[in-house]
Amino acid sequence: MNDIKDKLKLIKENNLDREMKYLSKPQDKFTTIDGKDALLMSSNNYLGLCNNEEVKVASIEAINKYGLGSGGSRLTTGSYDLHKKLEEEISKFKNVEASLIFNTGYMANVGVISAICDENYYIFSDELNHASIIDGCRLSKAKAIVYKHNDVSDLEAKIRSNNPKFGMIVTDSVFSMDGDIAKLPEIIEIGKKYNLLTLVDDAHATGVIGKTGRGSSEYFNCKPDIIIGTLSKAIGSEGGFVCADKYIIDYLKNKARSFIFSTSLSPAVINGAIKSLNIIDTNPKLVENLHKNIDYMCEGLKNIGFNINSESPIIPILIGKEELALEFSKILLGEGVYIPAIRYPTVKRGEAILRVTIMATHDFKDLDFALDKIKILNIN
């Protein structure tokens, strides 16, 4: 008996095996995937910044000035003036006291949650939170209690029945697969009422929601205790970050193991991210265009029979069976549109979706093309 082979066989039998698709061109709205030219409707590069000319120049300038690798962790020799500058820019962008960069959003969630929450803590976590939040909870040794998706009554009931002395409420702001937005004002209110910290993951909100793309705090005019974000989606670069009051950031510098024990980000991705934040700041049209496209796509989907609404660029089309979602995605790629099938464990079993994502760089003609191809599938 070979345990790994047996497990792999089971994954394949359930249509849950994963395969990489390879891009051979930049991640613009038109790209080449596995040798096939396609309209890209799958990227988290929501503002098109990962192939922006100014961003690329900024990255190249950083390589010319500093070289490629950072040579060490931040607490040894890997801290450049650029890292500090990016943290200052993030703090300004998010209107917070202090920030700290991690190498990925995943590492930020895992590091922050496990550094703050110990065995004396309760963590109340939305059932659709991202895997990095779940893993942070597991690593923390805290008692994790999962509440129903975006259900503040269930959240409050679970807090009451556990009566925690120390605790944290954790939620995505924009949910990564459903694209809906957490009820943050109510969640923060509950946090204050029960003296719990609130941590909000703005990975899909940064550069996306709020009038100028500042994220969930701008969208709701609210202030959670801790904001996590990533530089890898709308910012078009790489890296994660945490924003909070300075004393929390000072604590995390000492305690967040995924920050302490990993070589820091390359100056190239740091300087690219600084440029992206500057572009978002000075070009409000980018975020506006993204939302015009989101509205247009939702309207188009309604016209072809889907009951879909989204305020974020993530628009899920529920398919159900894993096999069918894979089949639809394959047909769409054959027709020149790439929309991936998302399956368990990213979503629940039997609730596979086609995850459509919109970019500011799409135009209405592109979206019409995608809608025509989706219509052919006769999903409804």
Residues of the shown chain interacting with ligand PMP in the complex, contacts defined by CB under 6 A: 104-106, 109, 130, 132, 172, 176, 201, 203-204, 230, 232, 240
The CB density around residue 238, as the number of other CB atoms within 10 Å, is 19
* Residue that has been written with the tokens 């597991």 in this structure: 138
Nearest partner of 362 among 33, 51, 53, 46, judged by Cα: 46
Nearer to ligand PMP among residue 117 and residue 342 (C-beta): 342
* Residue that has been written with the tokens 């390879």 in this structure: 22
Min dist CB 106 to ligand PMP, Å, is 3
Nearer to ligand PMP among residue 101 and residue 301 (C-beta): 101
Q: Which amino acid is at 20?
A: M
Under a CB-based contact definition with an 8 Å cutoff, are residues 159 and 190 in contact? yes
Question: Residue-wise over 109-121: b if at least 16 C-beta within 10 A, else e?
Answer: bbbbbbbbbeeeb
Min dist CB 273 to ligand PMP, Å, is 11
Residues 6+ apart with CB under 8 A from 27: 40, 43, 45, 50, 51
Task: Tell me which long-range contacts 158-162 makes (C-beta under 8 A, separation of at least 24).
Answer: 158/124, 159/122, 159/124, 159/190, 159/194, 159/196, 162/122
Question: Residue-wise over 239-274: b if at least 16 C-beta within 10 A, else e?
Answer: bbbbbbeeebbeebeeebebbbebebbbbbbbbbbb
Min dist CB 203 to ligand PMP, Å, is 3
* Residue that has been written with the tokens 């509950």 in this structure: 190
Nearer to ligand PMP among residue 104 and residue 164 (C-beta): 104
Chain length of the chain: 380
Nearer to ligand PMP among residue 109 and residue 271 (C-beta): 109
Under a CB-based contact definition with an 8 Å cutoff, are residues 159 and 151 in contact? no
Query: What is the sign of the dihedral through the CA atoms of 89, 94, 99 and 105?
Result: negative
Question: Residue-wise over 313-337: b if at least 16 C-beta within 10 A, else e?
Answer: bbbbbebeebebbbebbeebbebeb
Q: Which residue is nearest to ligand PMP (CB)?
A: 105
Nearer to ligand PMP among residue 300 and residue 340 (C-beta): 340
Under a CB-based contact definition with an 8 Å cutoff, are residues 220 and 230 in contact? no
Nearer to ligand PMP among residue 109 and residue 140 (C-beta): 109
Q: Helix or strand or coil: residue 294?
A: helix
CA dihedral 348, 352, 354, 356 (to 10 degrees): 0
Min dist CB 240 to ligand PMP, Å, is 5
Min dist CB 369 to ligand PMP, Å, is 26
Nearest partner of 45 among 380, 328, 313, 376, judged by Cα: 313
Min dist CB 338 to ligand PMP, Å, is 17
Nearer to ligand PMP among residue 130 and residue 373 (C-beta): 130
Nearer to ligand PMP among residue 125 and residue 156 (C-beta): 125
Min dist CB 216 to ligand PMP, Å, is 12
Min dist CB 110 to ligand PMP, Å, is 9
Nearer to ligand PMP among residue 66 and residue 175 (C-beta): 175
Nearer to ligand PMP among residue 212 and residue 346 (C-beta): 346
